[in-house]
A = this chain, B = another copy of it.
Amino acid sequence: MTGGDLWTLYRTGLAVLTEGSLSGAGRLLGLSQPTVGRQVEALEAQLGRGRLFTRSQRGLLPTETMLAMRPHLETMASAAAAAARAGSGGSEELAGVVRITASEIVGGEVLPGLLASLRSAHRGLVFELSLSNRTEDMLRRDADIAVRMVQPAQKALVSRHIGKVALDLYAHESYARQYGLPQSVADLAGHALIGFDRATPFLNAAAQGLALDRNLFALRLDNDLAALAAVRAGFGIGPVQRPIAARDPALVKVLPGAVAFELEFWVVMHEDLKRTRRMRAVYDGLVEGLTRHVGQGKRG
């Protein structure tokens, strides 16, 4: 009978829940299948509410009780990962892992340069990037620092408003040569528009300034970086952040001034991390670098 160490049992319970089988959880945790099985039994015994999983030959299906525990166990896992990052580097030295979440565009186009210079200044820094357009839960510590498009509501977070970045429609000059450029918003209907498959901050912002029908787009992507690549490749016309477009002289602005939407930029960090030197350094570096980046859009 496995003893009273509930935290271990929670960890394997969560692994079984996410993997769906004892064997899978074992592979994930580096344990054997019998061990995982015993620990699940032990967890069930500890809680005393009967089975947490319904066993089948094709895996384990969670019971209602287990599902009720799930969010808490996920919180534990996030906190454990955060603790590992916090402990991986001394808080004195400027070394260790920093996990950053940002949108795909920012992570692919803006951050690499910034992080490179941060790392050249502080060799011990190691970065993890989590790129997605949904805003991850900073309070659950899925990331240490976030670059956001919306102001954070929670007050356990320290945040810095960087500024606004304008989005304009751009096309590659090769496209412009071949097809010409629209002269009015109505002209857009005859062109190859590149848009987004599902709701994104871009689309939300765009919908305010312009009545954009999803069916208008000749290419719909759920990947912002690929969409940007499509614009650069001359496929068609799509929205690009002005500072990013400014770096590529082959990109020409389409209908300048006719469509204008803006994105806010925020850098967000959990209050607890303020005193950890490397977190602070990265935070400050991001604030400075993004401020510079946003500024480049002004004259672009």
Q: A8-B5, A8-B8, A64-B92 are in contact. Are A79 and B87 (CB under 8 A)?
A: no
Q: Which of A30, A91, A141 has the most CB of B within 10 A?
A: A91
Is A219 interfacial (CB-CB < 8 Å)?
no
Contact residues of A between 45 and 94, Cβ < 8 Å to B: 47-50, 52, 63-69, 71-73, 75-76, 79-80, 82-84, 86-92
Chain B contacts for A82, CB-based, 8 A: 72, 75
Minimum Cβ distance to chain B for residue A269 (Å): 13
User: Which single member of B69, B141, B154 contacts A86 (CB below 8 Å)?
Assistant: B69
Residues of B close to A10: CB separation below 8 A? 7, 80, 83
Residues of B with C-beta under 8 A to A91: 64-65, 67-68
Copies of this chain, count: 2
Q: From known contacts A49-B87, A156-B139, infer whether A76 and B80 are also in contact, taking CB-CB under 8 Å.
A: yes
Query: Which residues from 1 to 23 on chain A have a C-beta closer than 8 Å to any C-beta of chain B?
Result: 4-8, 10-11
* Chain B residue nearest to A49 in the complex (CB): B90
Q: Does A155 contact B (CB under 8 A)?
A: yes
Residue of B nearest to A74 (CB): B79
Query: How far is B91's CA from A50's CA once the two chains are assembled, in angstroms?
Result: 12
B76 touches A83 (CB 8 A): yes
User: In the bound complex, how far is the Cα of B155 from the Cα of A5, in angstroms?
Assistant: 33
Residue A213 interfacial (CB < 8 Å): no
A172 to chain B, nearest CB (A): 40
Cβ distance A68 to chain B, nearest Cβ, rounded Å: 4
B80 touches A6 (CB 8 A): yes
* A89: B residues at CB distance < 8 A: 49, 65
* The residue from B4, B47, B79 contacting A73, defined by CB atoms under 8 A apart: B79
* Residue contact B64 to A86, C-beta cutoff 8 Å: no
Q: Are B72 and A75 in contact (CB under 8 A)?
A: no
A154 cross-chain contacts in B, Cβ below 8 A? 139, 153-154
A167 to B71, CA, bound (A): 39
- CB distance A87 to B52 under 8 Å? yes
When the two chains form their complex, are residues A72 and B79 in contact, meaning their CB atoms are under 8 A apart?
yes
Q: How distant is the Cα of A153 from the Cα of B156 in the complex, in angstroms?
A: 11
Closest to A73 in B: B83
- Give the Cβ gap from A142 to chain B, nearest Cβ, in Å: 12
Contact with B along A15-49 (1 / 0, CB 8 A): 00000000000000010000000000000000111
Q: Is A132 an interface residue (CB 8 A)?
A: no
Could you say which of B4, B68, B156 contacts A87, with CB atoms under 8 Å apart? Answer: B68
Query: Known contacts A7-B10, A73-B79; can you find 14 more A-B pairs with CB under 8 A?
Result: A7-B8, A10-B80, A49-B87, A64-B90, A65-B90, A68-B91, A72-B79, A72-B82, A72-B86, A75-B79, A79-B79, A139-B154, A153-B154, A153-B155
7 smallest beta-carbon distances between A and B, as pairs = A72-B83, A75-B79, A71-B272, A68-B91, A76-B79, A7-B7, A72-B82
